[in-house]
Amino acid sequence: MLKNPDVSRKIASKSYRLIKPGDIEEVNLQHELRPGLVDIQPLMASVCHADDRYFAGKRRPEALAKKLPMALLHEGIGTIKESMSDKFKVGQRVVIVPNVPGYMLRGEKKTDTVPDNYSTDSVFLSSGYDGIAQSELVQPDRAVVALPENIPDEIAILTEVSTVGYHASSHVADALAKPGCRIALFGDGPVGYMAAAVLHYIRGIDKDHLTVFGAIPDRLNEFDFANKELVTEYDFDHAGEQFDVIFEATGGNFSSSAINEGIKVISRTGKFVLMGVSEDLVPIDTRDILEKGLTFYGTSRSTTPDFEAVVKAMSQSQDYQDTLRKLLPKNETVIKNASDLNKAFEAIVASKAWYKAVLKFEW
C-alpha cells in the first residue's frame, strides 16, 4: 500500500561523510521522500576497493576535489523504513542498486536506448553522490530489489560485485552459450572470484571450460570450480590460441600485462571483456588485436535486472552461496559512529587480506 501517495516530505539522515582523505565526520543531511521512492535504513555493507582509494586519497586530486565530501559505500542491504511505493512494504529486506539513472530520480519513464549503467545523467552511490553510510537512504523503487528469506545478510551484501560480473558476461552471452566455448579470466581478487563464480553458477560454464589466471597461489586455490594457472609460471608465448572469450578483472598496474597475455592466447576473432579499472593509461598490443580480428568490450557497473538475476541465482543455489561465503571474514565490524568507520577504513587500507571487509551498522 502507498503511504500518503500524494505527499512529499523531508527525511533527516545521519551521514558518515568523507570530508577529505582519512577524515570521516558525522553530518546531518535531508532527503526528499516522494511518490515512487522508498526510505531504506542500511543494515550491512561490504567495502569496495574504490572506497578504499577515496579514503586513502589515492584518486587523482581533481577527482577528489570534485566528489568530496560524500558518504562512502555502495555494496549493501537494508530494510524499508518508509515506503511511498506499492512495490515495497515497511520492514522488507532489500538489496540496494547503487547506479541510479536520472530519469528514475526525476520519476520519469526511460526514453533513450542507452543502458542505465552507461547513461550520462546517472548517479552512483559513493562516487560523487552520497552512499550507504547514512541512517536514511532514499532510493527510487526501481533501484531496489527484494531479498528472499533464504539469502542471509552476509551473502546478500556480495550481490553488487556479483552483478558487475554478470553484466560483464552479458556482453558475450551468445558466445558463452555455444557448446565447447573456452573461457579464461585474469584476476584472483574478489572481483575476479565473483565474476568467475557467475560464469560457473549462472552462465553454466563447467570446470573443464573455465580457466582462471592469477598471481597469488593462496588466492588462486580458492577457485575450486575452475582450472587454475599462475601467470608467473605459464608460458604465454608458446601456449597457443586456446580461448574463445577472455575476461580481464585485474585492474590497476596489472591491467596491461593481463590484457597483453590474454591477447597471446585468445583465438582468432575472439571476444575480450575488460572489467579492471586503472587510473593510468594502459599500453596494449594493438597489432595483434588487428591481426586476430578481436572484439573488445568495455563494461562497467550494473543495473536492476542484473541484480534480479543474481538474487534469483543465489536463492536457487546453496552451492553458489557456499562459494561466495569464502570471501567473508571471520568477524564483521560494527559501526556505531563516524569514529568507528574511520577506524574501520584505516584497518582496511592497511590490510592485504583477500576477503571482503564487512560492516554492520547500528544506528
Annotate 204-261 with three-state secondary structure: CCCHHHEEEEECCHHHHCCCCCCEEEECCCCCCCCCCCCEEEEEECCCHHHHHHHHHH
3-state secondary structure of 185: strand
200 membership: H or E segment, kind and range:
helix 190-201
pLDDT higher than threshold 70 for residue 260: yes
Q: What is the pLDDT of residues 237-251, one digit of tens each?
A: 999 999 999 999 998
Instruction: Please give the average per-residue pLDDT across 31-35, as a whole number.
Output: 96
pTM of the model: 0.94
Q: Give 286 or 3, the one with higher predicted confidence.
A: 286
Q: Is the pLDDT of residue 1 over 70?
A: no
Q: Mind listing the pLDDT tens digit for each residue in 308-359?
A: 999 999 999 999 999 999 999 999 999 999 999 999 999 999 998 899 999 9
Cα gap 98→167, rounded to integer Å: 14
Nine-digit cell at 158? 556480495
Q: What is the mean pLDDT of the chain?
A: 95
Residue 56, number of CB atoms within 10 A of its CB = 15
Instruction: Grade residue 5 by pLDDT with cuts at 50, 70 and 90.
Output: low
Count Cβ atoms below 10 Å from residue 293 Cβ, excluding itself: 9
Give the pLDDT confidence of 138-190 residue by residue, as tens digits: 999 999 999 999 999 999 999 999 999 999 999 999 999 999 999 999 999 99
Transcribe 20-78 into DSSP letters.
ETTEEEEEEEEEEE-TTEEEEEEEEEE--HHHHHHHHT-S-HHHHHHH-SEE---EEEE
pLDDT the model gives residue 6: 60
* Residues 212, 219 contacting (CB under 8 angstroms): no
Position 327: which residue type? L
pLDDT at 2: 42
φ/ψ region of 5 (left if φ > 0, alpha if ψ in -120 to 50, else beta) reads alpha
The three-point CA angle 10-11-16 to 5° equals: 135
Residue 3 scores a pLDDT above 50: no
Distance of CA 169 to the CA centre of its chain: 13
Question: Among 247, 239, 161, 151, which Cα is nearest to 199's?
Answer: 247
* pLDDT score of 265: 98
CB 48 within 8 A of CB 100: no
φ, ψ of residue 19 to 5 degrees: the values are -85, -40
> What kind and span of H or E run contains 182?
none
Answer for the pair 173, 297: CB distance below 8 angstroms, yes or no. no
The pLDDT assigned to 60 comes to 86
The string of DSSP letters for 117-166 reads GG-TT-EEBTTTB--S-BS-EEEEGGGEEE--TTS-HHHHTTHHHHHHHH
Helix (H, G, I), strand (E, B) or coil at 15: strand
